[in-house]
């Protein structure tokens, strides 16, 4: 068998140093983490309303990464701060569609930061639009109550955070498995047929030096490999 194929939802960037126009990007460290864990990372273009059974044919797992903010309209609010950034409606819709497809069709899924937040929204939850104390450039040791679920050897993981929003109202079917010292949710499991989890932090930031963070990607790849 070859490497399990992991679809990473691409993020739309207004400009990059190597493109003349808007870019479709995946963080290099994220792709490297999937590769180091034994997977084949593939970047997917956000396209709302596409035939996902066709698009995801041959895909073994989904990685829903960080990115810009979710449109507050998605959780029944108007923007209350000018700190909201990077809203792209087609990206929101594609993320939600692919999440729903993955759950319905038993595809393993790991969600990170924005991906974690959009799952909460897709499940009927809401977000704090701008935290009083944003966790940007923030390192914190997080205790995970079910470490085996994330493939961890022990419950503590050094979390590298970069977010100014967090879960407000928790969505349906989500079970919290970690909280930050400040109290907000840092990880949850999703009630789904296949392995489906979300983390608010960025395990790709320090996977090379923190074995616990690489283990999260290894668990995704291992779960994806079961479907090959």
| Residue range 22-35, pLDDT digits in tens | 889 999 999 999 99
Closest CA to 55 of 5, 90, 112, 89: 5
pLDDT tens track for 67-84: 999 999 999 999 999 999
205: part of which helix (H) or strand (E)? none
Tell me the pLDDT band of 227, cut-offs 50, 70 and 90. Answer: confident
pLDDT at position 137 is 96
Domain 5-225: top CATH class? alpha beta
Confidence check: pLDDT of 19 > 80: no
The confidence score (pLDDT) of residue 6 equals 98
Read off the pLDDT band of 152 (50, 70, 90).
Answer: very high
Q: How far is CA 17 from CA 12, 79, 85, 159, in A?
A: 14, 30, 20, 29
Long-range contacts of 73-79 (CB under 8 A, 24+ apart): 74/118, 74/121, 75/121, 75/125, 75/126, 75/127, 76/126, 77/126, 77/129, 79/129
Q: Determine whether 30 is exposed, middle or buried from the number of CB atoms within 10 Å of its CB (0-12, 13-18, 19+).
A: buried
Q: What is the pLDDT of residues 91-149, one digit of tens each?
A: 999 999 999 999 999 999 999 999 999 999 999 999 999 999 999 999 999 999 999 99
């Amino acid at each position: 068998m070859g490497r399990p194929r992991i679809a990473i939802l691409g993020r739309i960037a207004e400009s990059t140093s190597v493109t003349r126009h808007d870019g479709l990007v995946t963080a290099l460290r994220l792709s490297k983490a999937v590769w180091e864990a034994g997977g084949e990372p593939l970047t997917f273009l956000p396209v709302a309303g596409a035939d996902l059974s066709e698009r995801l044919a041959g895909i073994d797992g989904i990685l829903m990464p960080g990115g810009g903010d979710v449109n507050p309209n998605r959780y029944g609010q108007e923007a209350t701060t000018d700190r909201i950034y990077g809203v792209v409606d087609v990206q929101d819709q594609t993320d939600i569609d692919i999440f729903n497809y993955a759950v319905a069709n038993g595809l393993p899924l790991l969600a990170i930061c924005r991906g974690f937040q959009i799952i909460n929204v897709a499940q009927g939850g809401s977000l704090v639009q701008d935290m009083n104390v944003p966790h940007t450039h923030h390192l914190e040791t997080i205790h995970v109550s079910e470490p085996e679920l994330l493939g961890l050897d022990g419950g503590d993981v050094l979390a590298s955070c970069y977010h100014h929003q967090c879960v407000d109202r928790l969505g349906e079917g989500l079970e919290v498995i970690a909280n930050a010292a400040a109290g907000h949710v840092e990880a949850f499991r999703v009630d789904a047929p296949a392995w489906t989890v979300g983390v608010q932090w960025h395990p790709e930031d320090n996977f090379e030096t923190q074995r616990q963070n690489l283990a999260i990607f290894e668990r995704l790849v291992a779960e994806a490999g079961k479907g090959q």
